[in-house]
Amino acid sequence: MGGGNLTDVMQGAPGWSAAFWRARRQPGRTGWRAALAGSVTAMLAQEARERRLFLWLPVFFLVGVLAYFTAAQEPAPAAPLVAAAGFFVVASWAARRGATGFGRVSLALAFVFAGFSAGSLRTATVSAPVLGAIKVAKVTAFVETVDNRNGGGRLLLRVGAIDGLAPEALPSRLRVTVRALGTLRAGDFIVATMRLVPPAEPSEPGGYDFSREAFYQGIGGVGSIISRVEVAPAFAVSTIARLNAAIDRARNDLTHRIASVIGGDDGAVAAALVTGKRGLISEAANDVLRGAGIYHVVSISGLHMVLAAGLFMWSLRALLSLSPTIALHWPVKKISALFAMLGATAYCIFAGSEVATERSLIMIVVMLGAVLFDRPALSMRNLALAALIVMAREPESVMGPSFQMSFSAVAAMIALFERAPGEHASERAQGWPSRIWRALAVMLLTTLVAGIATGAYASFHFHRINPYSLIGNSLTLPLVEFIVMPMALLGVVMGPFGLDAPVWSIMGYGISGMMEVSRHVSGIVGSTRHVEGFGGGALLTISLGLMWLTLWRSHIRYLGLPIAACGMLMAQAAHPPDLAVDASARSLAVRGFSGRLEVLNGKGNDFAVSQWLLGDADSRKPGAADLKGESRCDPSGCVTRMIDGRTVALVLAPSALVEDCQRADIVVTRLRTFGRCAGPELVLDGAHFEARGASEFRLGQNGGLAMRTARSDGVERPWSPRKAPRFTRGTAREDRDPRDPWEAHDEDADPSAFVMD
């Protein structure tokens, strides 16, 4: 078999190494080329023989989804659908005619256009009005969910009416904060005056886009309640909204029950593990969990769903096995798998059906479904099916870290332990000590592999890595698996009988041990290391390398190593910006003479500042005393110097604009200048930020400034529509809030000279 000719190789004979050396004996470069072509062909034939090409179909689907989200304009829904259907027909025709290569290319293109279609159809399905400007108005709404925030709270509202807005312009949902929850509960009908704004755009180019995420959740505005909340008359609300409210009430009741029994941060963490409500966890506890690399424990996703499904399946299987008749004559394993699917679904619904939870549920249902059909549960093929279902259902999820990190981790672990049948016999003959040691080794290895697989995504999205997460996970996960999660399941079962308090207390001991380990690990010097930001091109290259390593089984997989290494070099070569401005031009960061960022804060966009600092591998927090550096600020604005000596002015009031236009090299302002600020080298005014959003600049070797913006010219998507001017020459702001100094600071300005955007 190993010494077959090229025909044998094409037919799948596993002789790629022999083919390589036989062809290598030919003289000159021809031998090398033939050897390389023969071995590659043999390896691809092996992959096709093992049906591994199917695993790349979700990748092509992903390419189509990414193409949709990078489009400048919303495409016509029919075009990608027609293209996908056409290529499917061509692929089917090619398969019947035996044109294998042509058919595979056509099928790949069909999946690319299918992914594009999924994005287009999803957008058309969830499309709803979005607020176009700041609005202060009385709002009548139905409270769908309530998140307690240690006294205050955050509400998700179904909108009934907003004063001044026509019914067809009403957003479907609003997310607002309230200083004191009082007796507010999900399911209440309320009326209150609210200050509402459109969902926030990215605070940096390529950064987190809340406006896109809010669009797909039906959230058309965010803000705060600024008046007393009153009871409103009931209005028509969908059954889904009422069901969500009922579930949220139960979640909040259980959250407060667990937190009160255990107490402190341990109680808050325990409650988050069960219900997914993380609002009671203090920031200090969050930092401890992040530093230990185990913050994923308090986010109900893959770990929780796997443990919950496993407990459901194991419990019923053990119970049914007590009866010899049932154990011998019934398909106990399949019945238990079906029960686990139902139990995991119920847990997902109770946990709020967050995106990460739903994605994990789909993966588990696919894998347990394989058990029902006598197929291997944990296989790369099942993971590929789960990925296709998730992307077809919620294509926007591929843009977030949850999707990227979970699928990369699971794919890496499956690839690590994929084996040929019949290799487990010797393991079954081992004694318990050997099995225990092997289990510990497997746990350490899977933690290490998962950390490596997700490291690039954690660096890209969060700008941090936790080198000691292997220690943190290895020491805390046994507590979670053997104490915390079993007690969580038992506590939920015992709750209706009023016998849950002792169970939560036992769970609290496990949480206390987990938190104590986390404190020690996070206290190690260097437990959290910040990473400079890098571009999406580097991340895509690393992702391609990881997929190449995990989806192939033959030696061709090792070509993924240089691909991933190339992506890492691209990430290392990335240079953080030297000047960054948020979309509202209220906060600005400049690289000063020290080489560190100096932050000029107007009203203060702390989220943007935190993202800039993290992207610069800077551990300082927004509001730190040394962030101002050499800058000078007064109520009218701020002035500082860049590392190359240029003077940068952040203008906050019209009275300072004329002077700064005469003295500064770079002027940044949310005011409109209408071209009258002609002195500076660079002027970024209200018109610029209205059209392009957040902006950043990098110094070139010749002293030039390379600009990158969150929105390119001509780009307009449903979640990022073009903005109409909110205050123009000769008009008045009807939505002005006199209580907000930023809406009333220009009363004495000359409207003929400078106009607010």
The per-residue pLDDT for 728 is: 36
Handedness of CA 588, 593, 597, 602 (dihedral sign): negative
Q: Which two tokens stand for residue 640?
A: 């500082």
Q: Is residue 538 part of a domain?
A: no
Q: In sequence order, which residues have a C-beta less than 8 Å from that of residue 92 and are 6 or more positions away? A: 103
Q: Is residue 247 part of a domain?
A: no
If you count them, how many residues does the chain have? 757
- pLDDT band per the 50, 70, 90 thresholds, residue 62: very high
Q: In sequence order, which residues have a C-beta less than 8 Å from that of residue 500 and are 6 or more positions away? A: 257, 261, 491, 492, 494
Q: At what angle do helices 469-479 and 432-462 cross, to 10 degrees?
A: 120
| Domain end call among 126, 147, 170 | 126
Q: Is residue 43 part of a domain?
A: yes
Q: Is residue 564 part of a domain?
A: no
* 351: helix, strand or coil: coil
Q: Is residue 287 part of a domain?
A: yes
* 529: helix, strand or coil: strand
Q: Is residue 568 part of a domain?
A: no
- Is pLDDT of 264 > 70? yes
- Is pLDDT of 89 > 90? yes
Q: How far is CA 221 from the centre of its chain?
A: 20
Q: Are residues 257 and 346 in the same domain?
A: yes
- Mean pLDDT, range 327-338, rounded to an integer: 89
- Mean pLDDT, range 712-719, rounded to an integer: 82
The per-residue pLDDT for 446 is: 83
Q: Are residues 177 and 266 in the same domain?
A: no
- Is the distance from CB of 143 to CB of 173 less than 8 angstroms? no
Q: Are residues 611 and 488 in the same domain?
A: no
CA separation for the pair 271, 507 (Å, rounded)? 10
- Is the distance from CB of 524 to CB of 482 less than 8 angstroms? no
Q: Residue 696 forms beta bridges with which residues?
A: 580, 708
Handedness of CA 56, 57, 61, 67 (dihedral sign): positive
- Is pLDDT of 630 > 80? yes
Q: What percent of the chain clears pLDDT 70, i.e. is strictly above it? A: 88
Q: Residue 231 forms beta bridges with which residues?
A: 190
| Domain end call among 176, 205, 237 | 237
Q: Are residues 120 and 176 in the same domain?
A: no
Q: How many other CB atoms are found less than 10 A from the CB of residue 335? A: 16
CA separation for the pair 337, 268 (Å, rounded)? 32
- Among 417, 450, 488, CA closest to 293: 450
- List, for residues 534-593, the tens digit of each pLDDT value: 999 999 999 999 999 999 988 889 999 999 999 999 999 989 999 999 988 888 999 999
- What is the domain count for the chain? 4
Q: What is the DSSP letter of 55?
A: G
For residue 149, give the CATH number of its domain: 2.40.50
Q: Are residues 107 and 220 in the same domain?
A: no
- Mean pLDDT, range 242-263, rounded to an integer: 94
- Among 399, 389, 401, CA closest to 361: 389
Q: In sequence order, which residues have a C-beta less than 8 Å from that of residue 198 and are 6 or more positions away? A: 130, 131, 132, 133, 211, 220, 221, 222
- Is the distance from CB of 689 to CB of 702 less than 8 angstroms? no
Q: How far is CA 427 from the centre of its chain?
A: 39
Q: Are residues 700 and 736 in the same domain?
A: yes
Which helix or strand (DSSP H or E) is residue 426 part of?
Answer: helix 425-428
- Is pLDDT of 603 > 90? no
- Is pLDDT of 1 > 50? no
Q: Is residue 415 part of a domain?
A: yes
Identify the domain containing residue 65 by its residue range: 6-126
Q: Are residues 110 and 142 in the same domain?
A: no
Q: Are residues 290 and 220 in the same domain?
A: no
Q: Which two tokens stand for residue 366?
A: 């696919």
Q: How many other CB atoms are found less than 10 A from the CB of residue 321? A: 14
CA separation for the pair 695, 199 (Å, rounded)? 18
The per-residue pLDDT for 568 is: 95
The per-residue pLDDT for 736 is: 37
Q: Are residues 631 and 507 in the same domain?
A: no
| Domain end call among 92, 107, 126 | 126
Q: Which two tokens stand for residue 714?
A: 């001509």
Q: How far is CA 461 from CA 229, 398, 534, in A?
A: 37, 13, 10
- Is the distance from CB of 126 to CB of 180 less than 8 angstroms? no
The per-residue pLDDT for 395 is: 95
Q: What is the DSSP letter of 71?
A: -
Q: In sequence order, which residues have a C-beta less than 8 Å from that of residue 366 and are 6 or more positions away? A: 382, 385, 386, 389
- Mean pLDDT, range 306-331, rounded to an integer: 87
Handedness of CA 289, 292, 296, 297 (dihedral sign): negative
- Mean pLDDT, range 38-50, rounded to an integer: 83
Q: What percent of the chain clears pLDDT 90, i.e. is strictly above it? A: 44
- Comparing 96-105, 422-431, 521-530, 558-567, the range with the smallest average pLDDT is 422-431
Q: Are residues 482 and 359 in the same domain?
A: yes
Q: Is residue 242 part of a domain?
A: no
User: Rounded to 10 degrees, what is the CA torsion of 84, 86, 92, 94?
Assistant: -120
Greater confidence (195 vs 752) lies with 195
Q: Are residues 265 and 216 in the same domain?
A: no
Which helix or strand (DSSP H or E) is residue 284 part of?
Answer: helix 283-291
In the numeric block, the tokens 């909110």 are attached to 726
Q: Are residues 606 and 501 in the same domain?
A: no
Q: What is the mean pLDDT of the chain?
A: 84
